[in-house]
């Protein structure tokens, strides 16, 4: 004689509550990126890398912004990936899963790279540790090489690939309005437009709209199903 254990299904309010928590976390993390990116500095004179002179006067602010943006990314990106997985159930489910995997891997690489970048600039611009002349030479030598960005750039590429795959999945699933997957592709603009200041706000607008839309539709779908 065998004894089977039957697990009672979770009450409807449990699923709705979980969806609400995910939607709230995603919405807060998405909106939090706006002021952080707006204040993020850009290299002087149109350069592609930060110089010692760029960071030294704002080393504390630069480190704080970089770390906060890293925390925001490691929360928001997996939340978006999970939200899309909840929205795409049949058509496009495989693409959504592959995209979610790429997004999570990309977020891990990107955050590791940016946190390392913040730490490098913070300590090399500390006059108590390095003479300003030596610090400037070190920054110039290291920042022009590929190793400083060895994690951040592949992470950004994976974020773009994951976003594109999940956009296609959302389009195929018809689970959200067509503008949502289209707006999500705004992440590509981050390669061409500075992510700070007013220009950065224009680039961020479709990304923020996508995050808020995914949060809303996840919550609404769960509420309707319950």
Q: Residue 222: what pLDDT? A: 65
Stretch 78-99: mean pLDDT: 92
Neighbours of 5 (CB within 10 A): 4
Of 71, 82, 73, which Cα lies nearest the Cα of 22? 82
Mind listing the pLDDT tens digit for each residue in 203-212? 788 888 888 9
pTM of structure: 0.83
Burial 133-151 (b: 16+ CB within 10 A, else e): eebbebbeeebeeeebbeb
Each residue's pLDDT tens digit, 116-157? 999 999 999 999 888 999 999 999 888 887 888 889 899 999
As a whole number of angstroms, the distance between CA 190 and CA 184 comes to 12
């Amino acid at each position: 004689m065998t004894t089977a254990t039957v697990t009672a299904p979770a009450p409807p309010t449990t699923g709705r509550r979980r969806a609400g928590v995910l939607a709230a976390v995603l919405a807060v993390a998405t909106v939090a990126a706006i002021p952080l990116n707006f204040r993020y500095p850009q290299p002087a004179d149109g350069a592609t890398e930060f110089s010692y002179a760029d960071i030294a006067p704002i080393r504390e602010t630069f480190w704080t912004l970089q770390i906060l943006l890293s925390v925001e990314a490691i929360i928001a990106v997996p939340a978006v990936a999970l939200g899309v997985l909840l929205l795409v159930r049949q058509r496009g489910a495989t693409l959504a899963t592959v995209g979610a995997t790429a997004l999570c891997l990309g977020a891990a690489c990107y955050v590791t790279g940016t946190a390392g970048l913040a730490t490098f600039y913070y300590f090399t611009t500390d006059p108590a540790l390095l003479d300003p002349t030596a610090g400037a030479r070190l920054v110039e030598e290291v920042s022009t090489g590929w190793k400083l960005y060895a994690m951040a750039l592949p992470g950004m590429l994976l974020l773009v690939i994951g976003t594109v795959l999940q956009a296609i999945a959302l389009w195929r699933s018809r689970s959200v309005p067509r503008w949502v997957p289209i707006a999500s592709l705004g992440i590509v603009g981050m390669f061409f437009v500075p992510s700070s200041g007013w220009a950065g706000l224009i680039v961020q607008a479709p990304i923020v709209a996508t995050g808020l839309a995914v949060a809303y539709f996840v919550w609404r779908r769960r509420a309707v199903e319950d």
